[in-house]
Amino acid sequence: MAKPKFPKKIEIFEVGVRDGLQNEARSVRLDDKIRLAQGLLDAGIRNLELGAFVRPDLVPQMADTEKVYDAVRSGSLRLGRAKAYALVPNLKGLERAIASGAKGIAVFTAATESFAKRNIGMSIGESLEVFEDVVREAKRAKIEVRGYVSTAFGCPFEGKVSPKKAIAVVERLARLGIPEISVGDTIGVATPKGVVDVLAPLVKKIGRKTRIAGHFHDTRGTALANALAAMEVGVTVLDASAGGLGGCPFAPGATGNLATEDLLYLLDGMGIRTGVKLEKVAATSLSFSRAIGRTISSRYLQAYASACDAREKGQ
């Protein structure tokens, strides 16, 4: 049996500050968001989401995205060499992003019509037409663009999604000239075989022009296994969320993303470089967990918290 080949280096794209927080039941204080983002940056994260320029009545946790970018401009949130992205659904969202000084944006569609209509209020085709204008104007403003395709493996409204259907949508989005597209298991139903069936053809067909990233939710405990499967077929960018924060307000039952700490522990153990310090991420996530008053789902973080508690009691 051939030994699996994995990349020597993986880029972690941190989604905790946006995707991780958008479904929190209680409002998260701006200062806590900024501390979370700064802690992750200080740990070595070089690509992250900072917010979303979307309707605040639909996603209340993102209503203060302009204020997050105000913190960047004032220097109270220091990006350094890191690249920050914010979701935009249309040209109006792009205008807000430009006004806020954003240097990176993300556009998002879905592999199923039902989810696209529920999530962004457009069909897949309509969303791609809108994004053609958004991408063109973003490039004109020298803003980097990332793409997302949700429900690539399963949909809360349509069930299992065929690999051909998911691949077709990713390819259509890539034709807009987007350099990196994240392929998402929004409701956490994927298994390694399904990941290979979708991502291997994409890496082979469009991987030279468009980097393919994996975005996995751990709803059914398969996120790490899916990350391994993605790496085995040549994916070198993996989305992850501090502490495993996350869920989608438009996907009933969807729970947290692949935890950044759990992924780092795996990659460190395999000798795969990330440039991110696990202990610093864990300390940041634990501090944030205490700030919002609830335990978050990362397995590594729970072990780390127990060890911290034991040390404090032993003092």
Q: What is the set of active-site residues?
A: 248
- The residues with which 284 forms a beta bridge, in sequence order, are none
DSSP codes, 263-283:
HHHHHHHHT-B-S--HHHHHH
Look at the chain and count its residues. Answer: 315
**Dist CA 128 CA 108 (whole Å):** 9
What is the CB neighbour count within 10 angstroms for residue 129? 11
Q: Tell me if 214 sits within 8 A of 12, measured CB to CB.
A: no
**Dist CA 260 CA 285 (whole Å):** 9
**Dist CA 116 CA 112 (whole Å):** 6
**Dist CA 140 CA 242 (whole Å):** 33
- The residues with which 46 forms a beta bridge, in sequence order, are none
Q: Tell me if 287 sits within 8 A of 280, measured CB to CB.
A: no
Joined together, the tokens standing for residue 115 give 């989810």
Helix (H) or strand (E) holding 127: helix 124-140
**Dist CA 10 CA 144 (whole Å):** 20
Residues 6+ apart with CB under 8 A from 208: none
- Give φ, ψ of 81 to 5 degrees: -90, 0
What is the CB neighbour count within 10 angstroms for residue 238? 24
